Amino acid sequence: MQIGGKQAEWYFKGKPGDGVYLLFWKDRWLGDTLLKDRWPRLYSLESNKNCSISDRISHSGIAFLLGPGWNVWPSTVEEISETNDVNYMLNNIRFAGSKDVWKWDEEGSNHFSVANVKRMIRLDRNNNRTHLFKWESWIPLKINIHLWRAEMGRIPTRLALQRRQGLLKFYKHIQGPKWAKKLIRGIVMTTCWAIWNARNKKVFDNISPKVQEVVALVKSLSFLWIKNRSKFKSVLWKDWAVFPLCML
């Protein structure tokens, strides 16, 4: 599974305590790269490639240095350069002295928890979401499903995707409280449903519905649903029929 374009395991980062549990070469604990990938020549010389941090480093006063454990001692320019690089980085870290722990997130700063994983997955999905459709509770389920399938491109239609998306995000430009956006979104969904049915009658039954009939259907269906499927029980047909946005 990937989150933000990276494999999920990348978000685990070890925080050394005593260095007994975390693997020196194969766990991400120093920087953003596994040390076996950062210093491949040294890794090729390693006699114990599954060594822990405490197995691989030694103390020199308050500093940490690479300890012995090579099949062949580093001797080439590249190997010596990598050794110096490792020792430099080790001089800038401090161990807590407690047990090693795993952190979770891009910076490796939060404790691992199911809630943190779900938060990052949800954020990643929202950032990569290209679909605009939102389900509307006062509109029947079949209409919600129809619009969802239309946006996903699973219903044959001559409408261009750009035009379809323009309809679905129209409600976002409405000024007013949250219920006003819900009202407009529901009317747009009802309109799409009515147009779809009119189109099917034309294609399959060779019947050409009049525009007035489609408009009347939108008004009557939306009135029926808003009155019986929402909190707006007091809305009157005489007001709705003249101007469906009378409640705004």
110: amino acid identity, one letter: N
How do beta strands 12-15 and 101-104 pair? antiparallel
Output the six-digit token pair for 45.
């010389």
d(CA 245, CA 247): 5
Length of the chain: 248
The beta strands (E) that lie in the chain are given as: 2-3, 6-7, 12-15, 57-60, 63-66, 101-104, 110-111
Cβ distance 110 to 104 under 8 Å? yes
pLDDT recorded at residue 158: 47
Per-residue pLDDT of the chain (248 residues; tens, 9 = 90+): 655 556 666 677 888 888 888 999 999 888 878 899 988 988 888 888 999 988 888 766 566 777 777 667 778 888 888 888 887 887 777 777 788 888 876 555 566 667 766 776 666 665 555 556 677 888 888 888 887 777 766 665 544 444 545 565 666 666 777 888 888 888 888 988 898 888 888 888 888 888 889 999 999 999 999 989 988 888 889 888 888 776 66
**Reported pTM:** 0.45
pLDDT recorded at residue 128: 54
